[in-house]
Amino acid sequence: MTRRKILLSLFLLLPLLAAGYWWWRPAAVAVVTLEAQDVVRSVVTSGRVEASRQSRLGATIGGRVVATPVAKGQTVTAGTVLLQLEPEELLAQLQQTRAQLEDAGQQQADAERQLQRQLALFRQGFVSQAALDGLQRSRDQARLRVAQLQAQLAQYQARLAQAQIRAPADGVLLAREVEVGDLLTAGSAKLSFATAGPKHVLLDVDERQLAQLASGQPALIAADAFPARRVAGKVGRIAAQVDNDRGTLEVEVLLGEDGSFLLPGMTVSAEIETARLRQVLLLPAEAVKRGQVALVRDGRLQLLPVQASAVVEGKVQILQGLRAGMVVVTPFPLLAAGSRVRIVEAAS
């Protein structure tokens, strides 16, 4: 064979040799080693801070606003005047009624004294029954007049008190929708007030996470204004219905006294601990396919059936079929059982 023919044969054989090498060469796979670990499952969402009780305050009488002594956001004690209506007309009516009551009281006293004198004379036979009855009617009318004026005075005093809107308890004035000079109509609520006490957080939770939630679960709250501070709380009320438009439900988290720095209306982030699992085996969800995982034994691929939980945050819990220390291929390879493989890296 000439040298030229030898070179030509080698040139034709090289592709076949290369193809045979790649066919024979084991496929590369990545693996993860199973380790038992403690796992905390949680739901992360956002919401807002609310006071223990919020109320809308207004006047039961109408009038012009003459004073707003408390600024929005100011903390006050129970009974503090939050808003003052013009009192002049009521004060004039009150003063007039007091004067009338004083005069009526004197008339009643005179009628009582005159009746007592005539009663003594009646017993001695110097005064007729008709005259005595007339004096008794006069005395009764004087008493009635006094009672009517006392009721009227109490009414004006009550109306004067209603000209002041006071804090119903210790708390914070959240908002005021009127200023000095504005006319306030009876029954209109223009003040928002938050009663002092433990605050709570209202969260909007995706309805798909409802099955994980339960009253009493611990939670950590962080306000956007204070991201480095965490406040502990626990789940209280879980709404009985889902918001149709947003697909969320409202969850209440009760806060302890350490949340006193949080102000009503603040936006917060929350992490609710829904489960705490001890010494469980977790795998990336992509390592399990059709109830099987892939192992490497003596350089060849071995498929093994397992029982796994539902996917949570991209991972599944292995309930049965594997033990700690086993090496599992991930992602699940597109290779048949028995295929020759080689481990090139450990998956994170």
Tell me: the pLDDT tens digits for 103-134?
Answer: 878 888 888 888 788 787 778 777 788 877 77
Angle at 136 between CA 131 and CA 141, to 5 degrees: 125
Task: For 173-210, write each residue's pLDDT tens digit.
Answer: 888 988 998 888 888 888 888 887 777 899 999 998 99
Catalogue the E-assigned strands of 256-326: 267-284, 292-297, 300-305, 307-308, 315-320
SS3 314: coil
Tokens of 45: 């969402």
Give the mean pLDDT of 42-50. Answer: 90
Nearest to 255 by CA among 226, 215, 227, 220: 220
- pLDDT of the residue at 269: 92
Q: How many residues does the chain have?
A: 348
Q: What is the DSSP letter of 208?
A: G
- Residue 288, classified by CB atoms within 10 Å of its CB into exposed (0-12), middle (13-18) or buried (19+), is buried
- pLDDT of the residue at 348: 54
347/212 Cα distance (integer angstroms): 29
61/3 Cα distance (integer angstroms): 119
- pLDDT of the residue at 127: 73
Tokens of 309: 């939980």
Is residue 27 a contact partner of residue 252, using CB atoms and an 8 Å limit? no
Nearest to 42 by CA among 232, 272, 206: 272
Confidence of residue 152 (pLDDT cuts 50, 70, 90): confident
Task: For 307-342, write each residue's pLDDT tens digit.
Answer: 988 877 788 888 898 898 888 998 999 888 889 998
- pLDDT of the residue at 347: 56
How many other CB atoms are there within 10 angstroms of residue 204's CB atom?
Answer: 17
| The model's pTM | 0.53
- Where is pLDDT greater, at 153 or 250? 250
Render 67-105 in DSSP notation, one character per residue.
E--S-TT-EE-TT-EEEEE--HHHHHHHHHHHHHHHHHH
